[in-house]
Amino acid sequence: MIFYYSGTGNTRYAATFIARECGDAEPRFIPEALRSLREGSIMTEALAADVGPSLGIMFPIYSWGVPPVVTAFISRLLPHIGSDIYIWAVCTCGDEAGIAMRLFSKTVERFTGKRPGLLASVIMPNDYVLLPGFDVDSEETMRRKLEAAPERLAQLSRLIAARTRGVYDVKEGSFPALRTRLTFPLFRRWGVNPKKWKTSDACISCGRCAHACPASNIIISEGRPVWGNDCYSCCACYHVCPVKAISYGCATKDKGQYFFSG
């Protein structure tokens, strides 16, 4: 079984692709599974028993690290996973993952006593727009990344289907340890201020932002989105708005939009 987290659709696409190629069931969305576990509507033991012979975890890279919602989920699930299960993990990222996947591997080892058989990254269009200097890719770069993705995912699917072990194929980038160790803790602490999300009079009350939010952090009240405090900083609400009515202070001024639509 594959569990995935995705804000703007890249990882959902990648998870669906690998599940199809490997003849796996439909991937399950980590925020929903975690909510069910917290509410007690699913017991962890029951979820773990459903996993089958192979467990895949897929997520986007956030600030050269693993999104906290993913860590929270695996911390609950992994202690209940059988020792004979093949565990693998694939991240998507705009450019580079730092040492996020090495740290992820250590977390898996802490809970299960063994490292994942395969750790890999897939380059996809960038969706991060919340800091000055960070914007979506140019049309050309987006196109190039999206064209390369199927071949990369097919290659990883073959390795996963064959339960290959000892694979570490991650684009870490330059100074990867420095980036992850310095930047990720800052992101965890200060990465997003949910109070900065705003909508303008251009809003047409379509509700797409609320529907897209993986954290269920947006309600539509009197036709307008209202943000709560549980924001994953995925930027999906900003990217899906058809009239670009959503802003995050001045950070999103003149920035582009991206949402996987393939």
Ligand X SMILES: Cc1cc2nc3c(=O)[nH]c(=O)nc-3n(C[C@H](O)[C@H](O)[C@H](O)COP(=O)(O)O)c2cc1C
Residues forming contacts to ligand SF4 in the complex (CB under 6 A) are 7, 197, 199, 203-209, 212-215, 217-218, 225, 227, 231-237, 240-241, 243, 245-246
- In the complex with ligand SF4, which residue's Cβ is closer, 18 or 93? 93
Query: What is the separation of C-alpha 217 from the centre of its chain, rounded to a whole number of angstroms?
Result: 16
Q: Over the range 51-84, which residues count as b (16 or more CB within 10 Å of their CB) and which as e?
A: beebbbbbbbbbbbbbbebbeebbebbbebbeee
The rounded distance, in Å, linking the Cα atoms of 205 and 242 is 10
Amino acid in position 81: I
- In the complex with ligand X, which residue's Cβ is closer, 112 or 239? 239
Query: What is the separation of C-alpha 200 from the centre of its chain, rounded to a whole number of angstroms?
Result: 28
**Contact positions with ligand X (CB under 6 A) in 70-99:** 92-96
- In the complex with ligand SF4, which residue's Cβ is closer, 86 or 187? 187
Q: Does 252 bind ligand X (CB under 6 A)?
A: no
Amino acid in position 83: S
- In the complex with ligand SF4, which residue's Cβ is closer, 16 or 199? 199
- In the complex with ligand SF4, which residue's Cβ is closer, 63 or 233? 233
Stretch that binds ligand X, among 72-80, 124-132, 160-168, 201-209 (CB under 6 A): 124-132
Q: How far is the CB of 211 from ligand SF4 (least distance, A)?
A: 8
For residue 120, give the 3-state DSSP assignment: strand
* 236, 259 contact by CB (below 8 A): yes
The rounded distance, in Å, linking the Cα atoms of 191 and 54 is 33
**Contact positions with ligand X (CB under 6 A) in 6-35:** 6-11
> Footprint of ligand X on this chain (CB under 6 A)?
6-11, 60-64, 92-96, 124-128, 233-235, 260
